[in-house]
Amino acid sequence: MIYEDLVKEMIQSKIITFGEYRLSSGRISPFYINLRILPSNPDLMNKIMSRIVEYIEMSEIDFDTIAGIETSGIVYATYLSCLMKKPLAYIRKKKKEHGLKNLIEGLIEDRRVLLIDDVSTTGLTLYNAIKVIRENKGIVENALVIIDRLEGAREKLRELNVELKSLLDMKTIVKILVKNNLITDREYSRIINYYREQGFRKILNDDQDE
């Protein structure tokens, strides 16, 4: 599914920007996806969340509970749980030092959990969250992000027999940007070179994949 309108609005809202950015993985990326500012644009937020509901229903994903990863994933998981009338849980990245010291807030035992986050890069955050859910007797078969950067997350989650789904991925986004003249030749070349150098070839067009 291609969502040109969403990509255009993400560019206008500066959710997707171009430059030089150091990622948490240590890589220097020629673009950045900042979905943390999406809630500041409620119209676009509602549009994206509605499309995700449509995507989930079309994909026939079977689940009982929606779980978000702190911090960004919680926002989108909460929104989806309200739209879809599904129970909500969330996964901490580290235990609290007080109270019950839980890594998971919410009920997931023996429930099929749809794991939600905003962006996937290496997949390590999702991978760790899946392990936590399973250690707490939850069932995870699918994870869903708004944007997959196509930098190994899908393959990482396959190690746990979990399918990563995304509303958009960078290959689709780049095609839309080029088609609508929303990216310069230099920015395009830097993105293609970045993926080639990192060894992630899914972003490349057939005539570039040599």
Residue 158 marked ligand-binding: no
* 118 has binding-site annotation: yes
Establish whether 131 is an annotated binding residue. Answer: no
- The answer to whether 120 is annotated as binding is yes
Judge whether 123 is annotated as a binding position: yes
Q: Is there a binding annotation on residue 121?
A: yes
> Is residue 92 a known part of a binding site?
yes
184 in a labelled binding site: no
| Residue 210, burial from CB neighbour count under 10 angstroms (0-12, 13-18, 19+) | exposed
Consult the annotation and say whether 27 binds a ligand. Answer: no
CA neighbours closer than 13 Å in the CB half-sphere of residue 57 = 9
Q: Binding residue per annotation — 172?
A: no
115 is annotated as contributing to ligand binding: no
The response to whether 96 counts as a known ligand-binding position is yes
175 is in an annotated binding site: no
Binding residues for orotate: 121, 149
Binding residues: 92-93, 96, 98, 117-125, 149
Binding residues for 5-phospho-alpha-D-ribose 1-diphosphate: 92-93, 96, 98, 117-125
